[in-house]
Structure 1
């Protein structure tokens, strides 16, 4: 848990975005990410108290959330930079995770924290593959740019509810 967990959760709840219907503006970001990185799964994940909820998702079927206790994104929000897990089977944090040992059989994960101007990381834009891989500098830059687009959309949500 981040040191500022109570404040982070307050910022997340203030967006009034949890459990809302899909929105094209977020769906387009994950669709582009999935295509650009040729991955079967791309998500905009918001990390709540006990779950990670997917505002936008490609490749998970009807799944709209998972427990925070097994989330990769819960680890990623603790960082300022993109968290890359080249092979989850080789990572002590995740090798026995049910999302690795069972469906969707995560091997590769890259999560870019969605950090508001206030400094709170609310979730991630993440890409997931069923095979191990890495990202080069250009790919990391592209993921970072897509993350910035997602944050801009979250800020628009925040402004709508503040006004």
Structure 2
């Protein structure tokens, strides 16, 4: 774990959002991301100590969390930069990940860290696909803009 993990977890818990019901304000952003990028999966993932919990999701129906140790988003949270994985089968970090080699068969991942104004990164807005993909500068800009909307909504309630 990174040195700032305790502070990051404290900021996440201060949002009082973990394990709360779905909210239209987040669902709209995730649905737009899935449509805009033409992907079968998109989510707002909040990275807790041992899990990633999905505040909103498309394509992961019935699954509200996964263990942190299989989380692509945990890597993005600690890099603090957009994480792009064009083909997970060719990436040494993820090639044997259960969500890559098993169901749902993730091949592509793009995750934008949800960095709060005070600097803590609490999760990601991410899009995933079952086929390898490219992500150009325009795609990055759109995902970044959507990420900012999510952060605004997260901080609005605190």
Q: Tell me which interval the TM-score lies in, with the shorter structure as reference length.
A: over 0.9
> TM-score under structure 2 normalisation?
0.99
Please state how far the C-alpha of 1:147 moved relative to its aligned partner: 0.2
Segments of structure 2 that go 5 or more residues without pairing to the other structure are: none
* Larger deviation, residues 120-129 vs 73-82: 73-82
Q: Counterpart of 2:12 in 1: which secondary structure?
A: helix
Pairing of 1:19-98 with structure 2 (within 5 A): 19-98=19-98
Please state how far the C-alpha of 1:37 moved relative to its aligned partner: 0.0
What RMSD over aligned residues (CA atoms) do the two structures have, in Å? 0.6
User: How many residues are treated as equivalent by the alignment?
Assistant: 158
Please state how far the C-alpha of 1:3 moved relative to its aligned partner: 1.8
**Residue of structure 2 equivalent to 1:154:** 154
**Residue of structure 1 equivalent to 2:6:** 6
**Residue of structure 2 equivalent to 1:130:** 130
Task: State how far apart, in whole Å, the 2-side matches of 1:2 and 1:113 are.
Answer: 15
| Residue 111, structure 1, aligned to residue 105, structure 2 | no
Segments of structure 1 that go 5 or more residues without pairing to the other structure are: 159-163
Q: Counterpart of 1:100 in 2: which secondary structure?
A: helix
Q: Counterpart of 2:54 in 1: which secondary structure?
A: strand
Please state how far the C-alpha of 1:81 moved relative to its aligned partner: 1.9
Please state how far the C-alpha of 1:80 moved relative to its aligned partner: 2.5
Q: Counterpart of 1:17 in 2: which secondary structure?
A: coil
Task: State how far apart, in whole Å, the 2-side matches of 1:2 and 1:39 are.
Answer: 31
Please state how far the C-alpha of 1:73 moved relative to its aligned partner: 0.2
* Larger deviation, residues 11-20 vs 78-87: 78-87
Task: State how far apart, in whole Å, the 2-side matches of 1:57 and 1:128 are.
Answer: 11
Q: Deviations over 1:95-154 (max 9, x none)?
A: 000000001100000000000011000000000000000100001000000000000000
Q: Counterpart of 1:114 in 2: which secondary structure?
A: strand
| Residue 140, structure 1, aligned to residue 140, structure 2 | yes
Instruction: Confirm or deny: 8 A CA contact 1:17 1:157 kept in the other structure.
Output: no
Runs of 4+ in structure 1 deviating by more than 6 angstroms, as ranges, are none
